[in-house]
Amino acid sequence: MSLYPILWAADHAPVRDAEERAILIALVIKGDFDGCNCFRSYKTLAEKARVDAKTAGRRCREMEARGLIKRQEEYRSKAWLAIPEEQRPVIWEAMIPAEWWSAAQLADINDQRAGLGRSPLTPKIRPALAPAPPKKTRTDKGSKRPKKDVPSEAPGTTSPGGGQGTDSPHPQDYKSGPPGLVVPQPSESPSESPSENNRAVADAVGKSAGGCARADECDAAADETGKAEGGSAASGTALPTQRKKSPRPPTTKTRPRKESTGFEMVRAAIPAAVAAPGTRLFPGLHRAINDLLGGAPGIPRRTPEQVIARLNRRWYGENAEDRAAADYRGCERCTASGCEAPRRDLENPDGCDRIRNRNSWLAAALLAQDCSDPGCEDGQIIGGGECRACRDRAVERREIARSAAEAAARWEAEIKARQAVQGVADAWTRREAAETDRYRRVLGEAGVWGTKLDHQVGQHMDGWREKNPRPAAPAARGGREGQAAVGA
């Protein structure tokens, strides 16, 4: 679950009425941060939106016809594939227009999409949507939405978290106010200023979007929200459109981020290949550093030194520089411009390990936690002592290493013993051959030849073997040594 799609569905999507809104919210709650992968059975949708299943299906198709949602043909999630084939619901993509986000937010979204192998969202694939048709009578169905009525505004300033703060992000919602448009206000939020609401949301969204890139990871959270949102949407309170220009002065274009102490120190340690010194970091990376420095749900606070150590360990320790290079080939589908093959991860060890986006890779790598204890930094619990889990793992590893070393030593000793036995056997074979040769020569010089010679040599060697018994040989002996001895 991610808050952007919910915010869009709740406040900005051109839905026809409260029923549609409730269905749309119930749908996007289970989807991804970018509006993709929204799938729920019509039965569940109906339950959440308090309508009957047939209505849920019909309303979805109506929203599809108006372009609010689209049947998603790509990006089949694991959660969806896990559903028995005959029960799989339609996967909808909430068509949140690209222009709805600010430039910075869209960059962040596309950054995350890149990390998931999805193409960037553009105004072409996520066009602006026509305003909602009036309730019941839908005379203007299919008509194009008029061009933005504030042409002076730069892209991004009309979006929810853009930070301009002077105006509603979506003028058409209240200036033109299509008849019958219902704008339910979250009851827990007294503020009428969307920019204020949205700024809080924008920060929270980033966090949840990172962790909830896959819908299946966030089921529990989504369910809770589902209830809350369903309730508020289902109540369908039609409030008068009373948004006014915010009295607050305009904020600067750069997003006002609260930077944790030590941020600059960590910033200076970011490899130049990721971000040139002095440039602004990508939002996802910025946030990852802030989360580590300032602490976040499930992420204990770390010192700048610890964050830098972590950064270096991951970036240099995992050979990221090379893996992000244009000439790196992690699989046969890698090209200079990128790679569309599935990524390598724990579930897919044969995937490609090419780093397609240094920023999102580093952000994810910084937040990755190899120890099950979130407060563990290389075996030391932050603000505490040694990590028990790490110590237990280390003991286990040492135990395994010790057993392995013992086994190796045993094996080595065994090989040496076999070699020794073999050496004795080989020496005997050489002496036997030498004696045969010597005796044959003695008899030959004495004029003995042919069958008689062979017979006498055989008799002599039988006596020799009685005095020199053949040692036990561990392996079959080749005849090479014997031949060599004959020639000597």
Three-class SS string for 260-272?
A: CCCHHHHHHHCCC
Applying CB under 5 A, which residues contact Zn ion?
A: 330-331, 333-334, 339, 341, 352, 354, 371, 373, 376, 387, 389-390
Looking at the DSSP bridge assignments, the partners of residue 335 are: 338
Answer whether 397's CB lies under 8 Å from 446's CB.
no
Comparison of 98 and 352: residue with beta carbon closer to Zn ion: 352
- Closest to Zn ion by CB, 392 vs 454, is 392
Shortest distance, position 484 Cβ to Zn ion, whole Å: 55
**Residue 203, C-beta contacts closer than 8 angstroms, at least 6 positions apart:** none
Q: Which backbone phi and psi does 84 adopt, to 5 degrees?
A: -50, 140
For the bound state, the minimum distance from the C-beta of residue 130 to Zn ion, rounded and expressed in Å, comes to 40
User: SS3 letters for 160-183?
Assistant: CCCCCCCCCCCHHHHHHCCCCCCC
Cβ burial 278-316 (10 Å sphere, 16+ → b, else e):
eeebbbbbbbbbbbbbbebeebbbbbbebbbebbeebbe
Give the C-alpha separation, 34 to 22, whole Å.
19
Q: Comparing C-alpha atoms, which of 374, 271, 287, 269 is closest to residue 319?
A: 271
Nearer to Zn ion, 215 or 376 (CB): 376
CA dihedral 133, 135, 139, 143 (to 10 degrees): 0
Q: How far is the CB of 399 from Zn ion (least distance, A)?
A: 17
State the minimum distance, in angstroms, from the CB of residue 377 to Zn ion: 8
Which residues, other chains included, contact 75 with Cβ-Cβ below 8 Å and sequence gap of 6+? 36, 37, 116, 118
As measured in angstroms, the least distance from the Cβ of 332 to Zn ion is 7
Beta partners for 141?
none
Q: Which is nearer to Zn ion, 389 or 424 (CB)?
A: 389
Residue in this structure with the two tokens 């009578």, named with its chain if needed: 137
Q: How far is the CB of 382 from Zn ion (least distance, A)?
A: 10
Is 57:71 a contact under the CB 8 Å cutoff? Answer: no
Shortest distance, position 259 Cβ to Zn ion, whole Å: 28
Q: Judged by CB, which is closer to Zn ion: 24, or 376? A: 376
> From CA 113, how far away is CA 2, in angstroms rounded?
13
- The smaller minimum CB distance to Zn ion, of residues 204 and 395, is found at 395
**Distance of alpha carbon 226 from alpha carbon 261, whole angstroms:** 36
Closest distance of CB 281 from Zn ion, Å = 26
Q: Which is nearer to Zn ion, 233 or 339 (CB)?
A: 339
What backbone torsions phi and psi does residue 71 show, to the nearest 5 degrees? -70, 125
Q: What's the closest the beta carbon of residue 346 comes to Zn ion, in angstroms?
A: 18
- Of the candidates 95, 99, 126, 125, which has an alpha carbon nearest to the alpha carbon of residue 13? 95
Q: What tokens were used for 217?
A: 């990871």
Q: In whole angstroms, give the CA distance from residue 113 to residue 116.
A: 5
Nearer to Zn ion, 15 or 339 (CB): 339
- Nearest CB to Zn ion, comparing residues 127 and 379: 379
- Length of the chain (residues): 488
Minimum Å gap between C-beta 370 and Zn ion is: 8
Residue among 289 and 376 whose Cβ is closer to Zn ion: 376
